[in-house]
Every structure is written in C-alpha cells, then in structure tokens.
Amino acid sequence: DVKVTQSSRYLVKRTGEKVFLECVQDMDHENMFWYRQDPGLGLRLIYFSYDVKMKEKGDIPEGYSVSREKKERFSLILESASTNQTSMYLCASSFRVWEGARRTDTQYFGPGTRLTVL
C-alpha cells in the first residue's frame, strides 16, 4: 500500500510566523503535490514537483514556497503566515505511468494538516 504521511494533523500558528509542512512518501514516487482544501471550493493545487529540486506553480502559489531536496520528501513553506491561509493542507504523490504515449498517473493522498493561523 502507498503510504503518504504528513508531519502534523493539527497546527496552530500566529500571523507572521514561518510555517513548515512536511510530507513524506514511501513508494519512490516521482511526482509530489500540495493542495489546500476549503469548504465549498474543493481542492486547489498550490505547487507540485516532478523530480528532486524541481518545482512548478499550481493554481494558487501566492504566499507559499516549496522545497524538494530528497525524492521522498516535499515541504510546503508559508514564509509569513496570514489568517487567510487557515485551511486543510493535503499532500499527494504519484508514479509517472505511461500507457503507450499517454500518461495515466494516479495520485495518493496523505491524511492532511489542518492549519489555523491566529
């Protein structure tokens, strides 16, 4: 079974603090993703990485950065936390799978970190 773990289930931080959210996967997946989940908005992609030291912006990267120094670990960084970053943060990972000329990756999710910024 794929195992994606996140460092904390619940986190409370103050406005202006630097926040690190850690994600680790144990299946040697190339791709890793960070989403935020908000009621009524579904999941929105913040950043993703398709290889070590590589990163790509998702749909809502503002206020966030990421780091991928090792294949199994993908960190999300809030440089200066704000109250509008209060949310559930989900990490996911996937293999790069080819069926002919077509990609058919499947993403697997961690349990999430519920971050509250006061």
Q: Does 1 interact with another protein (rule: CB under 8 A)?
A: no
Q: Is 52 in a helix, a strand, or coil?
A: coil
Q: How many CA atoms lie within 13 A of 70 on its CB side?
A: 9
Q: In whole angstroms, how close is the CB of 69 to another protein at the nearest point?
A: 22
Q: Which residue from 19, 21, 81, 90 is in contact with another protein, where contact means CB under 8 A?
A: 90
Q: Does 84 interact with another protein (rule: CB under 8 A)?
A: no
Q: Which residue from 80, 82, 104, 116 is in contact with another protein, where contact means CB under 8 A?
A: 104
Q: Does 58 interact with another protein (rule: CB under 8 A)?
A: yes
The residue to which tokens 């080819």 are assigned: 98
User: Which has the closest alpha carbon to 4: 32, 31, 26?
Assistant: 26
Contacts of 93 (CB under 8 A, 6+ apart): 2, 4, 23, 25, 27, 29, 31, 32, 33, 74, 107, 108
CA 36 to chain centre: 8
Q: In whole angstroms, how close is the CB of 14 to another protein at the nearest point?
A: 26
Q: Which residue from 14, 15, 18, 44 is in contact with another protein, where contact means CB under 8 A?
A: 44
| Site residues for another protein per CB under 8 A | 33, 35, 40-45, 48, 58, 90, 92, 99, 102-112
